[in-house]
Structure 1
Amino acid sequence: MASVDIQSLFTNVPLEETTNIIVHGLLNSNEIPHHLNEKQITKALQLLRFPKGKSLAEIITTRYGRPTLHVYRRTEKDYYKARKLECDIEFLKRCKNSDTIPSFIKFKVHSQNFLSSHTYKSWLLKLLNFEIKSQTRKLSRLNNNHNNHVKSLKSECSYIDYQCLICMLHTNTDKKFVNVRKRHQKKLLNLGIDVSKKIKPEKVIFYLSNRKVTTEESELLALGLDFGFPIMNIKYENFFLGFERICNRISRFNIFGNDSISSIHNKISAVAKNAYHLFCRERRSNIETNSYHLNLLSNLRDDENLIITKPDKGRGIVLLNREEYNMKINEILNDITKFRLLKTNIATHILKLEDKLNRYLRSIKDSIGESVYNNLFASGSRPGVLYGLPKIHKMGNSIRPIISSIGTFNYNLAKFLVPILTPKTKNEFTVENTKDFVYDITALKFNEPVVMASVDIQSLFTNVPLEETTNIIVHGLLNSNEIPHHLNEKQITKALQLATIDSVFTFNDNLYTQTDGVAMGSPLGPTYANAFLCYHEKVWLNQCPDEFNPSLYRRYVGDTFLLFKNCSQVEQFVLYLSTKHPNLKFTYEIEQNSKLPFLDTIITKDNGRLTISVYRKPTFTGLGINYSSFSPKLFKLNSISTLINRAYNICSDYVSFDKEMDFLLNYFTENSYPSKFFYKILRNFLNKKHSSSTPVLSAAKDLCYVTLPYLGHRSFSIRKVLQSIFKDTFPQTDLRFIFKTTTTIRSLLNKTKPLPFALRSCVVYQFKCSRCNSRYVGSTTRSLQHRILEHMGMSYRTGVLLSSPSPSAIREHCYSTGHPLT
């Protein structure tokens, strides 16, 4: 046996080598104590390797030499410059998104009038974009240099020393950056941009789902479902559709000048093609910019158990489980007194309804005229679609059913009847809007004490009795001799029944019909509700005993404002109303502290008069159109001017108007609007209200509306060119543009199943022969299934071969060549 001893072991252990061995061993074995991470261990070792009180430069020079110290200083300098440059670019982008130009970008001009010109503003924007691009290129070069210096430092230092130096570099830079960020925030605040204010996700997102949402997903959803992104993809045919419509419209205009229709078509075509090619070049950068947000939204969309929608009242985002959503909708549909499941083929049933309407229209064609007949004629219609909006303000979060009726067989008929029936929806007790209500209420004066109350009808639309209301409307029209187009009682009754009774809709691929009540979403919903109540409330108020008859009664659809002598009369009056019709159930609210909310106002009793200010329900979340949303600036301007005008019309004194302006300033600031932008619009609004201007009379022009996808600044260039073409050639026409933001959070989260191909209408289709290269391209306004059966020579009602079908190029080709018609 022998023994071996190591002389002076402790003093001869290589500290650096042993430290590296320990750290790597702990990391590889996942045995780091107290759940510390590598950075925390490095921080602890930093105190050992680079103790306080000793010069960092001396330690690096002693261990590795002056060249390594030089590399470290360059690394530190480049890292700080890169971080500061990132902060500068972020500042410039915030200014660009807020349409605000930093003072160092602005240049002096000779004439002050030039400062407000479009040319000056466009050059400022170009300079700002150039500054962002040049700083971005500079940042890329700095990052490359920094990465090279980091590699060099890593190769020259030990692992532990390298980690310690990088940790110290980041710590020192973060300390310096506190002042840099404060300086940028102060600059933004001077420009009217308060970055400290923003909508909190927990205020606008209602979590009714089991899914856990990350912080990044919450911050993205908190921007709102209408938040727009730069357009990333657009179909060729959809882009050119708006320009095709312009060309079709101008064919009936009178041309001024030397241009012909074909030359004008060529000019419009050149504008469209140039804009499309420029968009295709910019498309890649849009995708790269939004790729992070697109990935977050795609993860939410791909969750099959998650429903993302808006609340029933107020703006916000609701996340709920699909199973719970379907269960609540089915509970509503299981009410056999309101809905019935149809076990028939959807396409066949829609055709039967179309035939029923079209037979009626043919019988009155001479009375209504050719143009009205063509507008109401049903072809290629689809069933309605049922969806629900959660009532987050109520216990249990019940669902309000909404039926999207656009494109249904009787939708145009319902729209046609609305203006005809409107006179029967008004009486001395109704108010048309908040402005009229405010005017009536503020004019009141009372010497005796009064009690304010409001009465609401529960689920009014679905409880309006269709047959009874139809009879009320028809008799009212007959008594006043206001039936249009010389229709008789039977014909107008049939029209109302077709527009309301036979409405069908789908939910989860099942077809339903509503057997009673007006569908939420039908154009006739408010009309029927108002007509029903206008007829009955006159009788009810005339028969009401004087002991609790209200001294004032004003109603807007299902909400009623009343004045009584004392509180006991309120309950008596509501009990009286509850006995008048079995379909109606009433709830009421009495004033509290001399205040009562009604519609979007709050009414206050003040020395024998009623004063009014703006009221927001508890469901108000503070969410609006975010200023950084990719949408036309006009939309954002109108969102401010609309709320200012609303406050001006509602507030009965300037004190409440001033308070409302303070509220709106904070509201728009939280939605990333620059305060200077808000003050500018407010100043212009008040100047118009308090300055007398003589209107300039001019000849009325034909309005021509054009809908195009919003492409940012490119859209306004298109508008400018097209307006110049119209100004020279069609001076009698006013060309108006409607720019639509197509890529929104709502569209990216959309899980709605598209209609089956057989039910789609107004489509362009292509037939390709299975045996040869022959092709046929056609279009149809009817359903695709209808057109396919017609090509096959079969009846679209029975599916049986017809003895004498209408001519078809596809069928003739197949018969002549012997190729199968498939």
Structure 2
Amino acid sequence: MEYWATSEEVVLEGTDVLLFITCPSSRSPTHLAHGERSRFHLDTLSSTLELETYSSLRAAQTKSNNIFHNKTKTTHLKKLKQLNPKPADCTTTRLQKADYQRKTVVNLSDKPLNKEHISVLSRGLKFVPTRPLRNHDDFIINVEKGLQQLAPGGKVDFLRHQIADILQKSKPQQPNITKPERQAITDLRKDKSITIVQADKGKAAVVLNTNDFNKMVSKILDDDTTYRKIKKDPTQKLQSQHKAHLKQLRDNYELSHELHHKLAVSHPQAPYARATVKIHKNPPKARLLVCSRDTVFYNTAQHLTKVLAPLGKTADSYISDSTDFCEKLKTVENPGKIVSYDVVDLFTSVPINETLHILRNRLDNLNSPLDTKLSTDSILQLITNSITSTYFTWGDELYEQIHGLPMGSPLSPILSEFYMTSFEHQALSSSLIKPTCWFRKVDDTFVILPQANDPSALLQHLNQQHPRIQFTLETESNSQLPFLDVLVTRTTDNTIQTSVYRKPTHTDQYLHFDSNHSLRTKTGIISTLTRRALNLSSVSPQPELNHLKHVFTQLNNYPPQLVNRVINSTVNPPPKPTTTKPDPAPIRISLPYTGKTSHHISRLLKQQAGGGVGDKDDTPTPTQRSHKQCDATYEQPESSTQHSFGMIKAIISQSLFQEALNSRIIKKEYADSPTQQPSALTECKKGGAPGAEPCHSPSLSIEIRRYQPSGTESEDL
């Protein structure tokens, strides 16, 4: 607050007064004495100033203090409201959260669940609690292989010193669960009488008696028309045969040395099965899923899928995703009857021989060559080897799928696309009913028929084409029909509108904000769902955006300002600079995420590669990315089995780092066993066979297995 006299400048600072002699022309302060401002305490001037002047100064001081106090109070209240937002109706919010917990935790077991059990399970099976970083093997293993390429020569030792320094100075993360909740996790994990699995639809956590769960799965595996037991694990035999075949292709110059090395899996494991539970069925049923990651043919299947991808997009009925589906619906005018046909158990029903014959015809009649040096015979032989390997493990038993394409193989979706394209062409050519519209995504088909046609008649015709390919029919209800995640609505003027659709079993559960994941992962979920709302809503996306705001802030504990910022930046994106698309980074290093420590090491590696430093969330700008030679990403820790290769790499890596650690005279010793962060409830709690890995997709291009000595357990939520 400033108080101006005719010839003086008076500035109030609390109870102090600063006086300046002021020039009338320029009002620039000049010195009162010796060129310095003179400071007086207001109370000391009471005997010097006239009563009227003193009273004016006192009043000005009081007014200034009140203004400052009110401004500070308003600022603090605003910050407090942002940090701890409270809804207007707390009772309604509590009821919503209680209903949310009932939807996300389904207890079908005899074990009563207390408040802590429900609290941790309602956060989702992908919730990751924080753990103290007592062992650095995860960083050492993932970084070591890229160091020689990233910093050849003597710079490697210096880079090891820097990374070792960061690891030793790293502070433990703040716990994101309470001690009773951590004890609840231990209690659930140690209770072998129950099994915790994910619901088949909606991501709910389902708690079952272990005996009941095993009976559900046995009911599936005992079907001798689909599965049969085998006595011996064929993994090693298949690996030897596959290596010999790849070597032959390399010698024939159909595979480069680099690609040959990529397709050959050094230490493969057997595919394993896990199960989810269909709680929307009465009684509940199990659904079997097979994970083929790190198996003999997995890398080969991935490569062949990429090679054949252009052939799978040529059908007129093909839709790539929901956005493509909505764009194609815009061309439909005066729709008739809206129905959908769904294939029952497509992968296990596709006839392999017919599919390979269809593919050979497609390859022999190509308009443009594929991006590969492999011949048609070599492609078909590799595919045959990959899809005829249909064995998997469940517990201590080995099973083999008798019919169809293997579940979990990257080749199964695209081969199904080839077969279904041929199937629908033959079926529609011979049908008396000619659909106005026919769009298909794998096994789901959206159809518009003329009003005079009967959808059941077309269903009967489709089911007569092949004994194992059977369809089900769904018709519109109340002028609405869901397809994929799109709700198709017929308006009163006979036009089509689209919006986002959620199944009744949907729980609105996404990655909890308190989970130990990178902030970039959490904001990516919000932006992805926002883009989906924009792409699928043909009228106004605002109702869907309001729903997302409510779900993330009230049910998944996201800060409102973060949610609003991400949604607004997605709806109104800033202009992007026109830059050329950068080449992929030749070196990719995946770091376990442990908070700030992961960010620090990631920035250090990017600086060493000459790519600059990313922002606070480690996302480099387009200019920085165009010069980047190393791509450091984060992976969530996973439960892993013990492999000799992983042990050797861990021993080598640790010995290489040990010299750097010792040279820094580090007094703190490593723990005897590595501590892995929890990622979900233990494997058997997830519905997988005991000892099985969770099936997920970390972004890895460095083939290093996680090291876990025998006797150590990974705590899972």
Q: Normalising by structure 2, what TM-score? A: 0.71
Within 1, Cα distance between the matches of 2:192 and 2:269? 26
Q: 1:620 aligns with which of 487, 493, 506?
A: 506
Larger RCO (alpha carbons 8 Å, 6+ apart): 2
How many Å apart are 1:715 and its aligned residue?
A: 2.9
Segment drifting more, 645-654 vs 229-238: 229-238
Query: 1:343-422 to 2 correspondence within 5 Å?
Result: 343-344=231-232, 346=233, 349-365=234-250, 366=252, 367-422=254-309
Query: 1:483-632 to 2 correspondence within 5 Å?
Result: 487=374, 490-545=377-432, 548-566=433-451, 569-606=454-491, 607-632=493-518
Q: 1:661 aligns with which of 545, 551, 574?
A: 545
Q: 1:764 aligns with which of 618, 643, 648?
A: 648
How many Å apart are 1:709 and its aligned residue?
A: 2.1
Segment drifting more, 206-215 vs 730-739: 730-739
Contact 2:509–2:556 (CA<8 Å) still a contact in 1?
A: yes
SS of structure 1 residue aligned to 2:648: strand
Contact 1:243–1:269 (CA<8 Å) still a contact in 2?
A: no
SS of structure 1 residue aligned to 2:294: coil
Within 2, Cα distance between the matches of 1:645 and 1:533? 30
Q: 2:337 aligns with which of 447, 451, 460?
A: 451
Partner amino acid, structure 1, of 2:164: K
User: Identity, % of aligned pairs?
Assistant: 25
Cα 1:609/1:485, change in 2 over 3 Å: same
Within 2, Cα distance between the matches of 1:387 and 1:684? 39
**2:119 counterpart residue number:** 219
Contact 1:341–1:510 (CA<8 Å) still a contact in 2?
A: yes
Contact 1:457–1:587 (CA<8 Å) still a contact in 2?
A: yes
How many Å apart are 1:293 and its aligned residue?
A: 2.6
Partner amino acid, structure 1, of 2:469: L
Larger Rg: 1
Cα 1:626/1:693, change in 2 over 3 Å: closer
Query: 1:128-527 to 2 correspondence within 5 Å?
Result: 189=81, 191=83, 193-194=85-86, 196=90, 197=93, 198=97, 200-233=100-133, 235-250=135-150, 261-279=152-170, 282=172, 291-344=179-232, 346=233, 349-365=234-250, 366=252, 367-426=254-313, 427-446=315-334, 450-480=336-366, 482=369, 487=374, 490-527=377-414
Within 2, Cα distance between the matches of 1:314 and 1:554? 25
Cα 1:580/1:699, change in 2 over 3 Å: closer
Contact 2:606–2:632 (CA<8 Å) still a contact in 1?
A: no
SS of structure 2 residue aligned to 1:738: strand
Cα 1:384/1:243, change in 2 over 3 Å: same
How many Å apart are 1:509 and its aligned residue?
A: 1.0
Q: Normalising by structure 1, what TM-score? A: 0.63
How many Å apart are 1:721 and its aligned residue?
A: 3.7
Contact 1:382–1:760 (CA<8 Å) still a contact in 2?
A: no
Within 2, Cα distance between the matches of 1:388 and 1:430? 30
SS of structure 1 residue aligned to 2:365: helix
Cα 1:191/1:290, change in 2 over 3 Å: closer
SS of structure 2 residue aligned to 1:219: helix
Query: 1:721-732 to 2 correspondence within 5 Å?
Result: 721-727=604-610, 732=627
How many Å apart are 1:620 and its aligned residue?
A: 0.7
SS of structure 2 residue aligned to 1:454: strand
Cα 1:512/1:598, change in 2 over 3 Å: same
How many Å apart are 1:430 and its aligned residue?
A: 1.1
Instruction: Extract unaligned runs of 5+ from structure 1.
Output: 1-183, 252-260, 768-822
Partner amino acid, structure 1, of 2:569: N
Cα 1:213/1:708, change in 2 over 3 Å: same
Contact 1:381–1:761 (CA<8 Å) still a contact in 2?
A: no
SS of structure 2 residue aligned to 1:493: helix
**2:59 counterpart residue number:** none
Within 2, Cα distance between the matches of 1:609 and 1:335? 46
Cα 1:485/1:201, change in 2 over 3 Å: closer
* RMSD value, Cα: 2.9
Cα 1:587/1:214, change in 2 over 3 Å: same
How many Å apart are 1:535 and its aligned residue?
A: 1.1
Cα 1:486/1:245, change in 2 over 3 Å: closer
Cα 1:188/1:567, change in 2 over 3 Å: farther
Within 1, Cα distance between the matches of 2:155 and 2:389? 47
How many Å apart are 1:234 and its aligned residue?
A: 5.2
Within 1, Cα distance between the matches of 2:359 and 2:246? 20
Within 1, Cα distance between the matches of 2:451 and 2:461? 16
Contact 1:386–1:401 (CA<8 Å) still a contact in 2?
A: yes
Contact 1:501–1:515 (CA<8 Å) still a contact in 2?
A: no
Contact 2:167–2:597 (CA<8 Å) still a contact in 1?
A: no
Query: 1:45-60 to 2 correspondence within 5 Å?
Result: none
**1:640 counterpart residue number:** 526
Contact 2:150–2:587 (CA<8 Å) still a contact in 1?
A: no
Within 2, Cα distance between the matches of 1:566 and 1:468? 35
SS of structure 2 residue aligned to 1:736: strand
Within 1, Cα distance between the matches of 2:371 and 2:593? 41
Contact 1:193–1:672 (CA<8 Å) still a contact in 2?
A: no
Which is richer in helix? 1
Could you report, residue by residue, the CA deviation over 1:733-792 in whole angstroms, capped at 9, with x for unpaired residues? 2543322343xxxx7xx7xxx75x6x754431999xxxxxxxxxxxxxxxxxxxxxxxxx
Partner amino acid, structure 2, of 1:626: H
Could you report, residue by residue, the CA deviation over 1:27-75 in whole angstroms, capped at 9, with x for unpaired residues? xxxxxxxxxxxxxxxxxxxxxxxxxxxxxxxxxxxxxxxxxxxxxxxxx
Within 2, Cα distance between the matches of 1:587 and 1:230? 46
Contact 2:243–2:264 (CA<8 Å) still a contact in 1?
A: yes
Partner amino acid, structure 1, of 2:366: S
**2:712 counterpart residue number:** none
How many Å apart are 1:540 and its aligned residue?
A: 0.9
How many Å apart are 1:320 and its aligned residue?
A: 1.3
Contact 1:442–1:609 (CA<8 Å) still a contact in 2?
A: no
Contact 1:612–1:650 (CA<8 Å) still a contact in 2?
A: yes
1:737 aligns with 2:623: no
Cα 1:191/1:242, change in 2 over 3 Å: same
How many Å apart are 1:613 and its aligned residue?
A: 0.7
SS of structure 2 residue aligned to 1:733: coil
Query: 1:11-50 to 2 correspondence within 5 Å?
Result: none
SS of structure 2 residue aligned to 1:461: coil
Partner amino acid, structure 1, of 2:236: L
SS of structure 2 residue aligned to 1:390: strand
Within 1, Cα distance between the matches of 2:632 and 2:526? 21
Within 2, Cα distance between the matches of 1:567 and 1:299? 61
SS of structure 1 residue aligned to 2:172: helix
Contact 2:119–2:181 (CA<8 Å) still a contact in 1?
A: no
How many Å apart are 1:630 and its aligned residue?
A: 2.2
SS of structure 1 residue aligned to 2:168: helix
Cα 1:541/1:245, change in 2 over 3 Å: same
1:650 aligns with 2:521: no
Contact 2:611–2:629 (CA<8 Å) still a contact in 1?
A: no
